[in-house]
Amino acid sequence: MDIVIVGAGIGGLAAAGCLLKRGHRVRVYEQAHELGEVGAGVQMSANAVKVLYHLGLKSQLDVAGVKPKAFEFRRFDSGEELHRIPLGDAHLERHGVPYYQVHRVDLHSQLLAAVRALDPDAVATGVRATGVVEDEHGVAVQLDQRPAVRAELLIGADGIKSVVRRHVIGEDAPVFTGQVVWRCMVPVERIPKDLLPDVVSSIFCGPNNHGVMYYLRGGSLLNFIGCVRRPWEEESWTACRPWNELDEDYAGWHPMVRAVVENVDKDQCYRWALNNRKVASNWSTRRTTLLGDAVHATLPYMAQGAAMAIEDAAVLARAIDLEVPLEQALKIYQQHRVPRTSRVVDESTEMAELYQITDAEAMRQAFAERNIARSRNEWLYPYDPLTVALT
């Protein structure tokens, strides 16, 4: 099949790789002139790693990724452990592949190399899609300052501000969630040795705010994501903010968090607005469908947004090879993916409540009752997009 994908983020590249491996002709159009990823780290659990291995990324992940021993949830000031999700060997034994933490730039460039190894001309940069026209013979993507391109199938992997989504679902602007995130990276040599966390994903949970820390690139960098409930004042979704605002957000926090805040590059403190939408139930037309943030953007509090985009990619590639007409295959894909991605969006929103409880005792109790280790090990991580039954 002749397939066009709009967007060469993690989702678009994963889809290109899965489809090329199945023998389809794929063209990916990306608006950015230079390919890359914003932000620092990304966590990849077994449900996504299985697809990355399928695309041949095992050895690269083993070199570039860090394998954390656990998620450790701690109280923001005392550091008291509230809950633990074992990762490391436990994740590998239970789910068949490791849990990795990877620099986004590394993961993205590995995916791009895998796609280009399958077809060197598959990805075109500096090409912006502006609209979509569909008729019974096919679908055409309109491009900025270029002739439109036709395809048998169009996939919108163009992120939360998706143009393709507008064609499929109509106008519905993303909604600000009331949460913003600081994203910083600190070389570990700047941090006193006794304040370096263990090789885990540390989540310090406090009133209306939680901070996530984990290592990247062989443990040479400490990635910090500070998630704060506050109004958004800037026009742009991303803004470089004065360091003292970061400092104020984490005043009185545990010395490990303070060590990060005090050692970041003070002119490199970026804050993002977090937006999402309710997951749509209609993702597809006859010849156009969506994946990733274009259709189910989520708060990042289960570390699953990119993982869901990768799962979508693998399931979509399998669905269109079923012995059914394309329109029906797209329905099968959507019906299969809506419940799971909706659950991730809903539970990620719920996590914002859990991780940001003001009262220490109430937080202790909520973690004990919720038992997210059991829940995630039972439904989230065991899913295999390469083999799950598509009905």
Ligand X SMILES: Cc1cc2nc3c(=O)[nH]c(=O)nc-3n(C[C@H](O)[C@H](O)[C@H](O)COP(=O)(O)OP(=O)(O)OC[C@H]3O[C@@H](n4cnc5c(N)ncnc54)[C@H](O)[C@@H]3O)c2cc1C
Residues that bind ligand X in the complex, under the rule CB under 6 A: 6-12, 29-32, 39, 42-43, 128-129, 157-159, 163, 181, 183, 225, 272, 292-294, 300, 303-307, 309
Catalytic residue among 29, 99, 100, 214: 214
- Asked if residue 16 lies in contact with residue 123, where contact means CB atoms within 8 angstroms, the answer is yes
Distance, in Å, from the CA atom of 113 to the CA atom of 248, rounded to the nearest integer, reads: 41
**Integer-rounded Cα radius of gyration of the chain:** 21
Minimum separation from the CB atom of position 324 to ligand X (A): 26
- The residue among 154 and 259 lying less far from ligand X, judged by its C-beta, is 154
- The residue among 147 and 361 lying less far from ligand X, judged by its C-beta, is 147
- Residue 8's Cα: distance from chain center in Å? 14
Distance, in Å, from the CA atom of 122 to the CA atom of 110, rounded to the nearest integer, reads: 15
- The residue among 304 and 377 lying less far from ligand X, judged by its C-beta, is 304
Does residue 12 sit in helix, strand or coil? helix
Distance, in Å, from the CA atom of 214 to the CA atom of 230, rounded to the nearest integer, reads: 24
- Written as one letter, the residue type at 313 is A
- The residue among 309 and 372 lying less far from ligand X, judged by its C-beta, is 309
Minimum separation from the CB atom of position 4 to ligand X (A): 11
Handedness of CA 237, 238, 241, 247 (dihedral sign): positive
Minimum separation from the CB atom of position 46 to ligand X (A): 12
Q: Name the β-bridge partners of 134.
A: 139
Q: Name the β-bridge partners of 29.
A: 6, 124
Q: Is 214 among the catalytic positions?
A: yes
CA distances from 30 to 4, 181, 272 (A): 11, 25, 22
Q: With DSSP H G I counted as helix, E B as strand and the rest as coil, what are the percentages for the chain, rounded to 5?
A: 40, 25, 35
Contacts of 110 (CB under 8 A, 6+ apart): 57, 60, 61, 64
Contacts of 359 (CB under 8 A, 6+ apart): none
Element (H, E) at 244: helix 243-249
Q: What tokens does 74 get?
A: 């701690």
Active site amino acids: 214
